[in-house]
Amino acid sequence: MGTITPEEILSFLTIFSEGTKQSTKKLRYAILSSFFNFAKNSLDNDVLNPCDTPLLRKLFKDQKTRQWKILEKEVVDEMIFRTTKQRDRIMLELMARGGMRVGEVLQLTADDIDDRKVRIRKPKSGKEAEVVFIPQKIAKRLRQYIMEKGIASNERIFQITYPAARTVVKKAGRLIGIDLNPHDLRRHAATYASRSGTPLEIVSKIILRHSNLSTTQRYLGKVNDVEAMKWIDNLFG
């Protein structure tokens, strides 16, 4: 046992835990480290624990939970209202009201728009296609934009690059004094829907198009004390 090296432990854990989540890797590391501590305390106090090195502790520690930015509806409404360029406003609405990813917005063609249904070709899920449902007002503005710009059925509606689209979102955020990323708008669509009473299954399967609910729950962020008391008062006050 005393001849096992930290390098061998690392090799074993890397192979044994390949493709698993960080939490699973940490658990297996902790079990193995506990085994060596047991051997040290019960059999031979001179035995060194090969798991107890700074490198291994760092590699197999828990990842910090990221705190997502949660935007209030009033803030998003103001940002969209103050965005005067028609193209930019529609892009922001598709992300903030339709829950679309910025890459999905940029790939849209005129042929993908069917009234309030928007088809997503080659989505992130790996499916052949997915459908996004958008509010009637946005659908009307989108159709009008396509008509006014004379966009052909197979042409991309928003013919800008990904960095340019991020700049559009950043610029919109600066209008209201916040540092904004495209995915913040997609998370807002989910959070606002959830806190307005939309069932989690609808938020997950229809708005975000996630394959499982646990992914959706990470999007929704934490509820602070003020929000918790407001919801309790609404329900039972």
**The pLDDT of residue 64 is above 60:** no
**The pLDDT of residue 101 is above 70:** yes
- Please report which confidence band the pLDDT of residue 235 belongs to, taking 50, 70 and 90 as the band edges: low
pLDDT, the chain, mean: 86
Asked whether residue 171 falls in the same domain as residue 205, the answer is yes
**The pLDDT of residue 136 is above 60:** yes
Give the 3-state secondary structure of residue 20: coil
Asked whether residue 52 falls in the same domain as residue 81, the answer is no
Q: Which of 160, 186, 24, 21 is nearest to 93 (CA)?
A: 186
Which alpha helices (DSSP H) does 83-128 contain, by range? Answer: 86-96, 102-107
- The alpha carbon of 209 is separated from its chain's Cα centroid by a whole number of angstroms, namely 11
Does 68 reside within a domain?
A: no
- Please report which confidence band the pLDDT of residue 52 belongs to, taking 50, 70 and 90 as the band edges: confident
Asked whether residue 152 falls in the same domain as residue 224, the answer is yes
Asked whether residue 40 falls in the same domain as residue 144, the answer is no
pTM reported for the whole predicted model: 0.67
Asked whether residue 142 falls in the same domain as residue 41, the answer is no
* % of residues, the chain, pLDDT over 70: 89
CA distances from residue 190 to 61, 93, 187, 195 in whole angstroms, order as listed: 30, 13, 5, 9
For residue 152, the one-letter residue type is A
- The alpha carbon of 52 is separated from its chain's Cα centroid by a whole number of angstroms, namely 34
Asked whether residue 78 falls in the same domain as residue 41, the answer is no
Does 166 reside within a domain?
A: yes
Rounded Cα–Cα distance for residues 59 and 54 (Å): 9
Does 1 reside within a domain?
A: no
Give the Cβ contact number of residue 135 at 10 Å. Answer: 12
Average pLDDT rounded to a whole number, residues 116-124: 90
Which segments within the chain are labelled E, that is strand? 113-114, 117-121, 129-133
- Residue 83, Ramachandran bin (φ over 0: left; ψ between -120 and 50: alpha; else beta): beta
Whether 6 and 55 have beta carbons less than 8 Å apart is answered as: yes
Determine phi and psi for 117, rounding to 5 degrees. -100, 130
**The pLDDT of residue 216 is above 70:** yes
Whether 108 and 73 have beta carbons less than 8 Å apart is answered as: no
Determine the structural domain holding residue 26 and report its residue range.
6-59
* % of residues, the chain, pLDDT over 90: 45
User: Residue 2's pLDDT is what?
Assistant: 54
User: Residue 157's pLDDT is what?
Assistant: 97
Asked whether residue 137 falls in the same domain as residue 40, the answer is no
Does 113 reside within a domain?
A: yes
Buried b (16+ CB within 10 A) or exposed e, 200-216: eeebbeebbbbeeeeeb
Asked whether residue 159 falls in the same domain as residue 54, the answer is no
